[in-house]
Amino acid sequence: MQNKVYLARRRNIFKTDEWKRFSKNKLALVGLVIIMLMVMTAVLAPVIAQNDPFISLRASTGNKIIKNTSPEKSGTILGTDYLGRDVFSRTVYAARISLSVGLVAVSISTIVGILLGSLAGYFGGLLDSVIMRIVDIVYCFPVMFLVMIIAAILKPSIWNIMIIIGLVNWTGTARFVRGEILRVRELDYVQAAISMGASHSRIILSHVIPNIIAPIIVEATLQMARAILTEAALSYLGVGVQVPIPSWGNMLNESNNLAALTLYAWQWVPPGLCILIVVLSINFIGDGLRDAFDARQKK
């Protein structure tokens, strides 16, 4: 009981100190605000979007499709694409895809990494050797190359992309968790729980994982940025999210021609900027969390 009270107090104090340190990082705060706004934009996409992102806009006569038209001439915020679809609406709806892919993929990779890393670090021995050799094998393959092969074999879809990215990005988390558990399992309170006869699952879930969750959160945050970039790259190459479903990657792919690059900048600049801003913001948040969770930081 005393140990539980101590851990509860420790978490509350640490949480307060964490926010104080995080709030001192102005770039991290800016990144947090931008991500919150982007999430709100994705959730409220049907309200924010001017037009249906899947349907071509037509002139007032109802016959002529308004395609490759600038914002001024089309009457929309970001103009229209080569099929006459509203670029602003597609960019807003694409935020749903990119953010959800990043969130789900990171959730999968984090869960798998924590599970395998915990087993390897806590039990050691043969199990540790087997898991680490699997990690080494997966780690040997370039992530993008492996993802492209799997995505090409399977039918391209949003859920397949989420699962694929999640299942090839767990190795870093597994290695990190294993190393942290090798350190934590030798601490006095873990050894005391073992001597009292606590089950392995209870020790891992109640005593080990809670004490390494902070660096795991930092790692997961940085992985989300990589997952969004990976999804954008796959969609750009045509093996990710398939049109007409909008994602920032396939919007760039659709603008990958000389006419669009030179004459219709409104078709590729918005999705490109969204990828840049979101990835930078997540990286800023990750850096801020790393500083906040660093016990060596003062006040």
Q: How confident is the model at residue 39 (pLDDT cuts 50, 70, 90)?
A: very high
Q: For residue 80, which phi and psi values (nearest 5 degrees)? A: -125, 160
Range 118-136 average pLDDT: 88
- The per-residue pLDDT for 210 is 78
> Rounded to two decimals, what is the model's pTM?
0.82
- The per-residue pLDDT for 5 is 40
- The per-residue pLDDT for 157 is 78
Between 18 and 45, the more confident residue is 45
- The per-residue pLDDT for 1 is 44
The percentage of residues in the chain with a pLDDT greater than 90, rounded to a whole number, is: 22
- What average pLDDT is seen over the chain? 83
- The per-residue pLDDT for 145 is 79
pLDDT digits 0-9 by tens, 50-80: 888 888 888 755 667 788 888 888 888 888 9
Q: For residue 58, which phi and psi values (nearest 5 degrees)? A: -120, 155
Is residue 130 scored above 80 in pLDDT? yes
Residues 6+ apart with CB under 8 A from 22: 28, 29, 288, 289, 291, 292
Judge contact between 178 and 170, C-beta under 8 A. no
Is residue 18 scored above 90 in pLDDT? no
Which is nearest to 152 in space by CA: 231, 249, 238, 250?
A: 238
b/e burial code for range 245-270 (CB count within 10 A of at least 16 → b): bbbbbbbbbbbeeeebeeebebbbeb
In the chain, where the domains are located: 89-293
Between 197 and 266, the more confident residue is 266
Judge contact between 212 and 179, C-beta under 8 A. no
Is residue 44 scored above 50 in pLDDT? yes
Neighbouring-strand partners of residue 86: 80
3-state helix, strand, coil in the chain (%, to 5): 75, 0, 25
Is residue 288 scored above 90 in pLDDT? no
Distance CA 236, CA 243 (A): 11
- The per-residue pLDDT for 208 is 79
Q: Which of 89-93, 101-105, 267-271, 288-292 has the lowest mean pLDDT?
A: 288-292
Judge contact between 48 and 92, C-beta under 8 A. yes
Between 208 and 98, the more confident residue is 98
Distance CA 107, CA 115 (A): 12
Between 175 and 157, the more confident residue is 175
The per-residue DSSP string of 29-53 comes to HHHHHHHHHHHHHHHTHHHH-SS-T
pLDDT digits 0-9 by tens, 5-17: 444 444 543 455 6
The CATH architecture annotation of domain 89-293 reads Orthogonal Bundle (1.10)
Q: How many CB atoms lie under 10 A from the CB of residue 27?
A: 14
pLDDT digits 0-9 by tens, 72-113: 888 888 889 888 899 999 999 999 988 998 899 999 999 999
